[in-house]
Structure 1
Amino acid sequence: MLHGIALRYFVEVARTGSLSASSENLHVAVSAISRQIAKLEEEVGTPLFERMPRGMVLTESGELLAQHARRALMDADAVLNEISTAHALGSGIVRVGCTEGFTRYFLPSVFATYHAAHPHKRFVLRSGTPVQVEHWVATGEVDLGLAFTTAPSTAVHVEFSVNAPVCALLRASHPLARKDVLTLDDLLEYPVAVLERGTTVRQLIDLCCSIRGRHLEPLMTSNNSSAMHQFAALGGAITLGSAIALQGMQDEYSLLAKPIDEPLLNERRLQITAMKERRLPPSVDQFLMALKDAVTASLPPE
Structure 2
Amino acid sequence: MLHGIALRYFVEVARTGSLAAASENLHVAVSAISRQISKLEQEVGTPLFERLPRGMVLTESGELLAAHARRSLLESDAVLGEMSAARALGGGVVKLGCTEGFTRAFLPRVMADHYASAPQVRFVLRSGTPAQVEHWVEMGEVDIGIAFATGDATRVRVEQSMEMPVCALLAPAHPLAAKDVLALEDLKAYPLVLLERGTTARQLFDWCCSARGLAIEPVLSSNNSSVLHAFASLAGAITLGSALSLVGLEDHSLIAKRIDEPVLNQRILWVMTMRERRLSPAIKGVLERLKAAVSQATL
**TM class, shorter-length:** over 0.9
Deviation at 1:212, TM superposition (A): 1.8
| Residue equivalent to 1:245 | 245
Alpha-carbon deviations, 1:211-250, whole Å to 9, x = none?
A: 2222231111111111101111111111111112223445
Where structure 2 has 5 or more consecutive residues not aligned to the other structure, the ranges are none
Deviation at 1:125, TM superposition (A): 0.7
Cα 1:157/1:254, change in 2 over 3 Å = same
Equivalent position SS for 1:47: coil
Report if the CA contact (8 A) 1:149-1:200 is conserved. Answer: no
Deviation at 1:141, TM superposition (A): 0.8
Deviation at 1:266, TM superposition (A): 0.7
Deviation at 1:150, TM superposition (A): 5.4
Q: Distance in 1 between matches of 2:159 and 2:121?
A: 21
Cα 1:36/1:150, change in 2 over 3 Å = closer
| Residue equivalent to 1:296 | 295
| Residue equivalent to 1:24 | 24
Query: One-letter code of the match for 1:181?
Result: V
Q: Distance in 2 between matches of 1:233 and 1:127?
A: 24
| Residue equivalent to 2:132 | 132
Q: Distance in 2 between matches of 1:197 and 1:69?
A: 36
Report if the CA contact (8 A) 2:232-2:239 is conserved. Answer: yes
Report if the CA contact (8 A) 2:131-2:150 is conserved. Answer: no
Report if the CA contact (8 A) 2:90-2:281 is conserved. Answer: no
Pairing of 1:187-206 with structure 2 (within 5 A): 187-206=187-206
Q: Distance in 2 between matches of 1:178 and 1:24?
A: 56
Query: One-letter code of the match for 1:260?
Result: I
Alpha-carbon deviations, 1:252-289, whole Å to 9, x = none?
A: x6112111110000111121111111111111011111
Report if the CA contact (8 A) 2:6-2:40 is conserved. Answer: yes
Query: One-letter code of the match for 1:143?
Result: D
Q: Distance in 2 between matches of 1:144 and 1:71?
A: 14
Matched, 1:86 2:86: yes
Q: Distance in 2 between matches of 1:243 and 1:171?
A: 13
Q: Distance in 1 between matches of 2:91 and 2:250?
A: 34
Pairing of 1:91-240 with structure 2 (within 5 A): 91-149=91-149, 151-240=151-240
Q: Distance in 2 between matches of 1:236 and 1:295?
A: 28
| Residue equivalent to 2:3 | 3
Report if the CA contact (8 A) 2:92-2:282 is conserved. Answer: yes
Report if the CA contact (8 A) 1:150-1:267 is conserved. Answer: no
Equivalent position SS for 1:145: strand
Deviation at 1:172, TM superposition (A): 2.4
Cα 1:2/1:247, change in 2 over 3 Å = closer
Q: Distance in 2 between matches of 1:38 and 1:93?
A: 32
Q: Distance in 1 between matches of 2:214 and 2:151?
A: 24
Query: One-letter code of the match for 2:293?
Result: A
Q: Distance in 2 between matches of 1:286 and 1:172?
A: 35
Deviation at 1:2, TM superposition (A): 5.1
Q: Distance in 2 between matches of 1:107 and 1:57?
A: 35
Equivalent position SS for 1:87: helix
Cα 1:141/1:150, change in 2 over 3 Å = closer
Q: Distance in 2 between matches of 1:256 and 1:33?
A: 53
Cα 1:173/1:27, change in 2 over 3 Å = closer
Deviation at 1:198, TM superposition (A): 2.3
Q: Distance in 2 between matches of 1:262 and 1:231?
A: 25
Q: Distance in 2 between matches of 1:200 and 1:38?
A: 43
Q: Distance in 1 between matches of 2:94 and 2:213?
A: 45
| Residue-pair matches, total | 299
Report if the CA contact (8 A) 2:48-2:62 is conserved. Answer: yes
The sequence identity of aligned pairs, in percent, is: 67
| Residue equivalent to 1:271 | 270
Equivalent position SS for 2:127: strand
Report if the CA contact (8 A) 2:101-2:225 is conserved. Answer: yes
Report if the CA contact (8 A) 1:16-1:22 is conserved. Answer: yes
| Aligned CA-pair RMSD | 1.6
Cα 1:183/1:110, change in 2 over 3 Å = same
Alpha-carbon deviations, 1:64-93, whole Å to 9, x = none?
A: 211111011101111121122222222111
